[in-house]
Amino acid sequence: MEKNVIIDLRNVSKSFDGETILDNINLSIRDGEFVTLLGPSGCGKTTTLRLIGGFLQPDSGDIVFQGKVINDVPPYKRQVNTIFQRYALFSHLNVYENVAFGLRVRKCPEKEIKKTVDEMLEMVNLKGFGKRRTESLSGGQQQRVAIARALAVKPKVLLLDEPLGALDLKLRKDMQTELKKIQQELGITFIYVTHDQEEALSMSDTIVVMDSGKIQQMGRSEDIYNEPKNAFVADFIGESNILDGMMRSDFYVDFSGKRFKCVDKGFAPNEAVDVVVRPEDVDFVPVEEGMLTGEVTLVTFKGVHYETIVDIGGFKWMVQTTDYHPVGSKVGLKIEPDEIHIMPKSEYSGLYGDYSSFSEEFDELSEPEEDEEDE
């Protein structure tokens, strides 16, 4: 395991103008992995990437690349390459010369340059675009040129800073698949920064969830979704109903004034906990059979399912099912024991997971903007 670690951040901290951006980060990335740094604006993910790229130096701690500390190695000597947010293509050069840029710096023979550039352009589906000006290309095509340009110099690690942020949804999905394919073909390490949890879930081998300069949780997509460590992760990845609960004993938890069977253990008796129930794990049943009963306050059709907000004793639950229950109707809710996830209390407890202020507009507004946290 230790052996194929390619990048290792050890106790790395960084602050700008007295504001701590990264707080004692420890992160090991294995060779050939697709790692995503996921978090809201200002969580420190871009800073982490720039530290690895060499554009920033850590205030304390070490950045280790293949066993060597590279804190003071300038970007032009590092074997990592970056895809920048707005592509950063050289507009005075054509597509071919953009891709050939790094090879020319390395003084490769012309024949080799041509071979590599043609290969790269073919890989990103831009065969025959060599003579075009970069400005005449669409956003997606420019992104491909940037990818070809970075990969042409055969980096050990590719850093991607929200590369798909500027593309529209459909194109973004296609590019996600394509990036994943390229990564698997080349077998090199990708470190990907995004605030889009869907993107992270669908592409990554490992997700690193970050907030306020700390790593909140690190693990496989499924583990992060199914076993979030705290209220922040539960809320940031997918939708969650997060309630205050009390562990009565192993396998029994109290919340919403009722006792539920669950599959978690190892908490102290009567320990206060956060209880997470994913909206898609709740079923509607007739009122008399319900473990909990409440009144529907909002229904939104989402295509695949209805998103229903149910008021249960003042707490608004989100439920995603294919059943339709009109606003005002009384419903019963049923939750299976293995669909209840228990988390210890954290600094994020109570901040998330209640849908009482939920509305469509609110959802749009809270969509994080692309972040430039270090400028």
Partner 1 sequence: MKKKTSVTGRICMALVFLFLYAPLIYILFFSFNDSNSTSLFAGFSVRWYKTLFTEEDIIVALRNTLILAVLSSVIAVVLGTAASIGIDACKKGWFRTGIMSVTNIPMMAPEIVTGISMMLLFVFVGRLVNKSDVLGFPTLLIAHVTFNLPYVILSVMPKLRQVDPHLPEAAEDLGMKPVRAFFKVVVPEIVPGILTGLIMSFTMSFDDFIISYFTSGPGFQTLPIAIYSMTKKRVKPDMYALSAIMFVCIFILLVVYNFVQARSQRREKK
Sign of the dihedral defined by the CA atoms of residues 52, 57, 61, 67, in that order: positive
Instruction: From 88-96, 190-198, 248-256, 297-305, give the range in contact with partner 1 by CB under 8 A.
Output: 88-96
Q: How far is the CB of 248 from partner 1 (least distance, A)?
A: 55
Q: Determine, following the binding rule CB under 8 A, whether residue 81 of this chain makes contact with partner 1.
A: yes
Angle made by CA atoms 254, 233, 279, in degrees to the nearest 5: 55
- The single residue among 136, 138, 184, 249 that binds partner 1, judged by CB under 8 A, is 136
Instruction: From 148-156, 267-275, 279-287, 300-308, give the range in contact with partner 1 by CB under 8 A.
Output: 148-156
Q: Which two tokens stand for residue 68?
A: 């060597």
Q: Determine, following the binding rule CB under 8 A, whether residue 84 of this chain makes contact with partner 1.
A: yes
Place of tokens 């996600």: 176
- The single residue among 36, 47, 48, 82 that binds partner 1, judged by CB under 8 A, is 82
Distance of CA 210 to the CA centre of its chain: 9
Residue 198 in contact with residue 239, Cβ under 8 Å? no
Q: Looking at residue 350, what DSSP letter applies?
A: T
- The single residue among 4, 57, 91, 249 that binds partner 1, judged by CB under 8 A, is 91
Q: Looking at residue 96, what DSSP letter applies?
A: H
Q: Determine, following the binding rule CB under 8 A, whether residue 74 of this chain makes contact with partner 1.
A: yes
Q: Determine, following the binding rule CB under 8 A, whether residue 16 of this chain makes contact with partner 1.
A: no
Of 307 and 371, nearer to partner 1 (C-beta) is 371
Which of 257, 224, 236, 258 has the alpha carbon at shortest distance from 341?
A: 224
Residue 134 in contact with residue 148, Cβ under 8 Å? no
Q: Determine, following the binding rule CB under 8 A, whether residue 19 of this chain makes contact with partner 1.
A: no
Q: How far is the CB of 42 from partner 1 (least distance, A)?
A: 18
Q: How far is the CB of 195 from partner 1 (least distance, A)?
A: 18
Which string of x and - marks every residue 45-64 that binds partner 1 (by CB under 8 A)? --------x-x---------
Q: Which two tokens stand for residue 295?
A: 């009144």
Of 92 and 131, nearer to partner 1 (C-beta) is 92
Going by their DSSP bridges, the two strands 252-255 and 258-261 should be labelled as antiparallel
Q: How far is the CB of 318 from partner 1 (least distance, A)?
A: 39
Instruction: From 70-78, 183-191, 194-202, 295-303, give the range in contact with partner 1 by CB under 8 A.
Output: 70-78
Of 153 and 246, nearer to partner 1 (C-beta) is 153
Q: Determine, following the binding rule CB under 8 A, whether residue 192 of this chain makes contact with partner 1.
A: no
Residue 275 in contact with residue 344, Cβ under 8 Å? no
Count of chain residues binding partner 1 (CB under 8 A): 26
Q: Determine, following the binding rule CB under 8 A, whether residue 301 of this chain makes contact with partner 1.
A: no
Of 105 and 327, nearer to partner 1 (C-beta) is 105
- The single residue among 45, 144, 149, 172 that binds partner 1, judged by CB under 8 A, is 149
Sign of the dihedral defined by the CA atoms of residues 212, 217, 219, 222, in that order: negative
Angle made by CA atoms 78, 162, 102, in degrees to the nearest 5: 35
| Residues 248-287 contacting partner 1, CB under 8 A | none
Give the count of alpha carbons within 13 A of 219, CB side only: 13
Q: What span, in angstroms and rounded, lies between the C-alpha atoms of 53 and 75?
A: 6
Place of tokens 């490769």: 108
- Amino acid 35 reads V
- List of residues contacting partner 1 (CB under 8 A): 53, 55, 74-77, 81-82, 84-86, 88-92, 101-102, 105-106, 135-136, 149-150, 153, 375
